[in-house]
Amino acid sequence: MSIRKISGGVCAPKGFKAAGMHCGVRRNKDKKDIAMIFADVECSAAAVYTTNKVFGAPIAVTRENLANGKARAVICNSGNANTSNADGVEKARAMSDLTAKALGIDSGDVIVASTGVIGQSLDLEPISRGISELPKLLSKNGGTDAALAIMTTDTKVKEVAFEFDLGGKTAKIGAISKGSGMIHPNMATMLSFITTDAAITAEMLSKALKEVVGETYNMISVDGDTSTNDMVSVMASGLAENALIDSENGDYAAFKEALSAVGQYMAPMIAGDGEGATKLLICNTRGAKDILTAKTVARSVISSALVKAAMFGADANCGRVLCAMGYSGADYDPDKVSVLFKSSAGEILVCENGCGLAFDEDLAKKILLEKEITIEINMYQGGASATAWGCDLTYDYVKINGDYRT
């Protein structure tokens, strides 16, 4: 299937507009802090959430609102996570109600999200002011402003859109994301809002989203912390006018492939923009006996603080990788493993048959000084493979998080 990258982000699919602005949640007036996405029609909708037992009030409200598989709008603020607050659910519901009133829709059709500091009461006054202004700013060109408004410690705007063939029609899918710290498998301080004009039922949309998240967003780790507010949501307007996808047929497979393209694009972008990061790390595992083993090993390696630190220091220490594999809980034969580091500067085999090899240290350092490094692991026990994404662990990560709240 042909999937083509296009411009427009969340506004690329038919029927969607977006906007972002500064309303006053954040003290820095130069930073946008509230975003809105609005659909012209009622959409099929689905979401996947953090697995943290402590989760944000917006997630509780969004779960309620999406119980019927329908939505028309997203409202998201940055600067305050609205988590671990006695009045959190009340204020998240108020955000839903205010958005519904401003857009003339039902309050149950709103996806609510927040990101930022945990445990501080959310002031509704600036939120209310922003929600009243955002409908006037909604446009087909507003995707980037919305992407900017959901950022916290991110250094790069994260948005993408693709078009693809679906049952003889041209469909589009777009997304904006944020994520920089508190990023660990099973989501992170990560938000991703996806839109599509494909016609698909909520049931099939939910199934596709869960499968794709498991292969992409849940294969990211920056710092080992699973956040409280993570969410990936998707709204489908149906305006591409393809035959409704209501079963796992060929059109479902085509849609899932396009949705996966979004995840495959966003995952390394989020990982590479980790707090204080200087390098994107990619861990490819192959030769595993099953997909669970491949995923478990890849996630363990990419999550290891010692692997991350070694990559920051350009130290080709295969022991860090082997150690992380060993405590992963995966079932494999450590005596069959090989490890190879590679980048645009070349590649170098550092472990074979579970044992470290002598290698050219100068070449290894040259390879690991690049901005994108791949760790290739082969277990030689089967045909399953997986990919996980992460970043190096730097001095700046500690600096950023040492005074995050203040």
Longest dimension (CA), the chain: 68
As a whole number of angstroms, the distance between CA 305 and CA 177 comes to 24
Helix ranges (H only) for 228-283 are 250-272
> Looking up tokens 């202004």, which residue turns up?
133
Distances (CA, A) of 383 to 289, 327, 378: 6, 22, 10
Q: Which two tokens stand for residue 403?
A: 């005074």
Q: Contact at 8 Å (CB) between 340 and 349?
A: yes
Q: Which two tokens stand for residue 152?
A: 């916290």
DSSP annotation string for 328-379? S-----GGG-EEEEEETTEEEEEEETTEE----HHHHHHHHTSSEEEEEEE-
Q: Which two tokens stand for residue 18?
A: 């977006």
As a whole number of angstroms, the distance between CA 77 and CA 55 comes to 16
Among 144, 189, 195, 387, the active-site one is 189
Helices (H) and strands (E) in the chain, counts: 11, 16
189 is catalytic: yes
List, by residue number, the catalytic residues: 189
